[in-house]
Amino acid sequence: MTETSVIFFDIDGTLLNHEKELPQKTKEAVFQLKEAGHVVAIATGRAPFMFEDLRKELDIQTYVSYNGQYVVLNGQVVYANPLNISSLLQLTERALANNHPVVFMDHEDMKANVPEHSYINESITTLKIDRFPSHDPYYYEERDLYQTLLFCPEGEEKQYEQEFKDFDFIRWHPVSVDILPKGGSKAIGIQKIVEQLGFPPERQYAFGDGLNDIEMLTNVKNSIAMGNAEDSVKEAARFVTKSVEENGIYHGLQMVGLL
């Protein structure tokens, strides 16, 4: 019997195409992996509630979410790395003065600190999810937050980067930036899972396409960049497959001998 492996998949631009659809060939590939006894996991920048339907469709209970800040193995939380609330509240006050709204996010929901704003509408709608942040400026109270969204035009996040050293700022939209705990990454989240599963490096695989995948692709021994990835992402990976629109997952799994 072939030794089993663990395979981590990014979501947007990797499992899902640019229309946020799951290609049939990709779905078939995931179930073939599972039938062969492999562990299939997700590693994403998304919140858990933003890919619940996808987890159900693929029957996946192991995932790294929020770029490594909230990690679940077989349905159980094994690692959580919340934001520093004191620093976050200082940042939020500065952002309000600059007319830059924020959205607080935990593992269950997201709430905006303003009733409405065009930047929130413009960016959140591109995710094509069935949830939109409602208004609750005190959502940070008595709960852990794993990510906050800061809404500002490109370049204007620099002032926050210079002052708030507890956080990493990752732009994902022309008017929106992820705020994450400093130094957190998908690679750290993956490490928390493989430590418990016991897979050696040669039996660890990861697929990704975005800038937030670079550390994951650098640290996982058998890393595969999607053909639609930027050059810097491809350079970080050991292999490069076809694009998501060309059944890149299926082709990549064949290329590395998992299918």
42 and 170 in one domain?
no
Please enumerate in sequence order all residues whose Cβ is within 8 A of that of 252, keeping only pairs 6 or more positions apart, or say none. 207, 224, 226, 239, 241, 242
125 and 57 in one domain?
no
H/E run at residue 147: strand 147-150
Domain that residue 196 falls in: 6-80+184-255
DSSP secondary structure letters along 42-66 = EE-SS-GGGSHHHHHHHT---EEEG
For all residues of the chain together, what is the average pLDDT? 96
191 and 65 in one domain?
yes
Which of 144, 160, 181 is where one domain is finished?
A: 181
pLDDT of 107 > 80? The answer is yes
Separation CA 20–CA 121 (nearest Å): 18
Separation CA 17–CA 21 (nearest Å): 5
pTM (predicted TM-score): 0.92
Q: Does residue 25 lie within any of the structural domains?
A: yes
Separation CA 13–CA 4 (nearest Å): 26
Dihedral angle over CA of 166, 207, 133, 81, nearest 10 = -30
Strand residue runs (E) in 29-133: 39-43, 63-65, 70-73, 76-80, 102-105, 110-112
176 and 101 in one domain?
yes
Using DSSP's 3-state secondary structure scheme, residue 208 falls into: strand
Which of 148, 181, 214 is where one domain is finished?
A: 181
Separation CA 245–CA 60 (nearest Å): 22
Which of 119, 150, 181 is where one domain is finished?
A: 181
Q: Give the model's confidence band at 129: pLDDT under 50 very low, under 70 low, under 90 confident, else very high.
A: confident
Q: Does residue 1 lie within any of the structural domains?
A: no
- Residue at 43: amino acid letter: A
Q: Give the model's confidence band at 16: pLDDT under 50 very low, under 70 low, under 90 confident, else very high.
A: very high
Residues 94, 146 contacting (CB under 8 angstroms): no
End-to-end CA distance of the chain: 14
- Residue at 257: amino acid letter: G
201 and 145 in one domain?
no
100: region left, alpha or beta (phi > 0 left; psi from -120 to 50 alpha): beta
96 and 23 in one domain?
no
User: pLDDT per residue over 148-206, tens digit each?
Assistant: 999 999 999 999 999 999 999 988 899 999 999 999 899 999 999 999 999 999 999 99
Q: Give the model's confidence band at 128: pLDDT under 50 very low, under 70 low, under 90 confident, else very high.
A: confident
Q: Give the model's confidence band at 2: pLDDT under 50 very low, under 70 low, under 90 confident, else very high.
A: low
pLDDT of 49 > 50? The answer is yes
96 and 125 in one domain?
yes
Q: Which residue in the list 10, 168, 209, 213 is annotated as catalytic?
A: 10
The structural domain count of the chain equals 2
Domain of 157, CATH number, reads 3.30.1240.10
* 12 flagged as catalytic: no
- Residue at 88: amino acid letter: L
What pLDDT is recorded for position 1?
A: 39
10 and 59 in one domain?
yes
**What is the mean pLDDT of the segment spanning 112-141?**
93
pLDDT of 42 > 80? The answer is yes
